[in-house]
Amino acid sequence: MKRLFLVFALAMALLLAGCGGDEKKAEEGAAPEKAAETAPEVSKVTLRLAMDADPVSLDPQVQLSGGMLQYSHMVFDPLVRWAKDGSIEPRLAYKWEQIDPKTMRFYLVQGVKFHSGNPFTAKDVAWTLERLKKSQDFKGLFEPFEKAVPVDDYTVDIVTKQPYGLLLSMATYIFPMDSVFYSGTDDQGQPKDAIVKTDHSFANVNESGTGPYVVESREQGVKTVFTRFADYWDKQSKGNVEQIVLTPISNDASRVAALLSGDVDFIMPVPPQDLERVQGNPDLQLVIMGGSRIITLQMNQKSQPAFADPKVRQAIVYAVNNQGIVDTIMKGFATAAGQQAPEGFAGYVPELTPRFDLEKAKQLMAESSYPDGFECTMIAPNNRYVNDEKIAEAFVSMVSKIGIKVSLKTMPKAQYWDEFDAQVADVQMIGWHPDTEDSANYTEFLLMCRNAETGYGQYNSGNYCNPKVDELILASQIETDLAKRSEMLQEVERILYEDAAFVPLHWQNLSWASKKGMSIEDIVNVQNFPYFGDLVIE
């Protein structure tokens, strides 16, 4: 019996040997992050929020991504922001006026405090813009901007290099940072305003904005807790959420399960396959909105001579039943597209509708220089866009009906973009959401002639190149008469449509779901920056 016990003890010791070694190491290891384990007080109005990702940093200028902008709207305030109807509404700037073609004057709200307690003035706006122009991710967007000049404490002039029609839209990206707080050096002797992507920086782990929420604790990738800022300047806001607990749940099924089981109150996005479940649940509400991320396929005219023939390109566009893809693969959770920009954008042309017509496609192929069809290659990501792989497979079978044999390869996004840039295939999938929330941006990146120096056509793997299109886009950039600008951009969309420059598929919808009794309908928008500061929970 004693020996039996010995053997058992050995077995247990083994179990611990697997763990024990690490246990010690964990204790010796560097101090772990501050625990974010305070249970929310019952009395507080708390929003338990699950998104597909959490902010990668606390520095609003370190990365330009949807997740970071959503974070910026919680902890910082922009000068102005998008309203639901697509207009621009005041935030830290309550009024603005164009004082000359290159200058816009912003009048700032007085008495605003940063989370550190420092007062917010025009100086902070100037400092923030200067830092944006240094940020790897934002410098491109702010290239047209010259500088911000404080006139007095509560007036600031923003000056552009050329007259710039999108000045006000871009002001939605200026989230003033606390220049006093972010100046000087941190305890590691590094400047506090450094923008660092892969290493420690003061701004990555500290924040001081003017926004409705203060970051109380953060465990990256696990949980971030936000508390309502006591001195928040916007007393008009009806928002009553005192605490937000943000948990990233990247797995679609787990995120939906967390909402259905009542473990979280609000999720974004809702995967298409679960929309019906959420909709059919009487305790939940679902908000869906047409988005502006277009999913397209580019046909490489350099690597595949067939695509240089406009008839072939048109045949392909006619052969693709993108409404069918929306109905079956996307479960109706997208809008079939015939052009790049969705309704509401400056370049939108109502009559450019999707054109599925198999007969016409066959006829166009017969008229082209490839009446017997041809073979080509294609790549698509399999974890970047909603159902991307299935969409690519559908495309392959659709064009097979007009004699085009496509060999498709899909891969995870981590590998996809290098392959995309190298243009390894004749047909390549790309989705695009314009950072400027404007029509021109699509064409600048996806369809202008490739130019390594200016960066235009950076993602134009179709190598479509039309001087007329370039000319119109460049002219639109310095056109401040918005009606005229709109006409130019609509002209571009018409040319692209005629030329079948690319294969338009659909715009992905946006979706949010929450428990009943929350005013989520009022705080979400087409930019997908929910204004949580204004959220009311009954």
Partner 1 sequence: MAAFIIRRILQAFMVMVIIGFIGFAIKQSLGDPVRELTGISVSAEERDALRDKLGLNDPFVVQFGRFLYNAAHGDLGRSFFYKKPAMEVILAKAPATLELVFCSAVLIVFLSVPLGIYCAIRPKRLFAKLVMGGSTVGVSIPVFLTAIMLIYIFSIELHWLPSFGRGETVNIHGWHTGLLTLDGLKHLIMPTVALSSIMLPLFIRLIRSEMMEVLENDYIKYAWAKGLPPMRVWIVHAFRNTLLPVITVGGVQLGVMIAFTILTETVFSWQGMGFMFIEAVERADSSLMVAYLVVVGFIFVVVNTVVDIIYGLVNPTVRITGRK
Give the footprint of partner 1 on residues 3-22 (CB under 8 A).
3-4, 7-8, 10-11, 14-15, 17-19, 21-22
Give the footprint of partner 1 on residues 350-409 (CB under 8 A).
383
- With beta carbons less than 8 A apart as the criterion, state whether 481 and 503 touch: no
Q: Report the C-alpha gap between 129 and 114 in whole angstroms.
A: 17
220 binds partner 1 (CB under 8 A): yes
Q: Report the C-alpha gap between 409 and 461 in whole angstroms.
A: 16
Q: Shortest Cβ distance from residue 68 to partner 1 (Å)? A: 9
Give the footprint of partner 1 on residues 407-426 (CB under 8 A).
412-418, 421
45 binds partner 1 (CB under 8 A): no
Cross-strand pairs, 335: 507
Q: Which is nearer to partner 1, 353 or 415 (CB)?
A: 415
Q: Which stretch binds partner 1 (CB under 8 A): 352-360, 389-397, 453-461, 504-512?
A: 453-461
Q: What's the CA dihedral at 26, 28, 34, 39 to 10 degrees?
A: 50
- The CA-atom distances, in angstroms, between 39 and each of 45, 243, 421, 504 are 13, 11, 47, 48
Residue corresponding to tokens 């000359």 = 100
H or E segment to which residue 151 belongs: strand 145-152
DSSP SS3 for 363? helix
Draw the binding track, 144-183, toward partner 1 (x: CB under 8 A; -: no contact).
----------------------------------------
Cross-strand pairs, 287: 512
263 binds partner 1 (CB under 8 A): yes
Q: Which is nearer to partner 1, 203 or 524 (CB)?
A: 203
Q: In the structure encoding, which two tokens stand for residue 462, read together? A: 């179709």
Give the footprint of partner 1 on residues 19-38 (CB under 8 A).
19, 21-23, 25-27, 29-33, 35, 37
Q: Which stretch binds partner 1 (CB under 8 A): 232-240, 242-250, 330-338, 490-498?
A: 242-250
Q: Report the C-alpha gap between 366 and 246 in whole angstroms.
A: 56
Q: How many residues bind partner 1 (CB under 8 A)?
A: 74
- The CA-atom distances, in angstroms, between 345 and each of 66, 214, 279, 530 are 19, 34, 29, 20
Draw the binding track, 125-144, toward partner 1 (x: CB under 8 A; -: no contact).
-----------xx--xx---
- The CA-atom distances, in angstroms, between 520 and each of 65, 80, 268, 413, 537 are 22, 21, 11, 31, 9
Angle 321-327-328 (CA atoms, 0-180°, nearest 5)?
90
57 binds partner 1 (CB under 8 A): yes
262 binds partner 1 (CB under 8 A): yes
Question: Around Cβ 87, how many Cβ atoms within 10 Å?
Answer: 8
Q: Which is nearer to partner 1, 22 or 521 (CB)?
A: 22
DSSP one-letter code for 518:
B
188 binds partner 1 (CB under 8 A): no
H or E segment to which residue 483 belongs: helix 482-499
Q: Which stretch binds partner 1 (CB under 8 A): 158-166, 253-261, 368-376, 509-517?
A: 253-261
Draw the binding track, 64-93, toward partner 1 (x: CB under 8 A; -: no contact).
xx----------------------------
276 binds partner 1 (CB under 8 A): no
Q: Shortest Cβ distance from residue 478 to partner 1 (Å)? A: 20
Q: Shortest Cβ distance from residue 450 to partner 1 (Å)? A: 11
Give the footprint of partner 1 on residues 189-218 (CB under 8 A).
196-201, 204
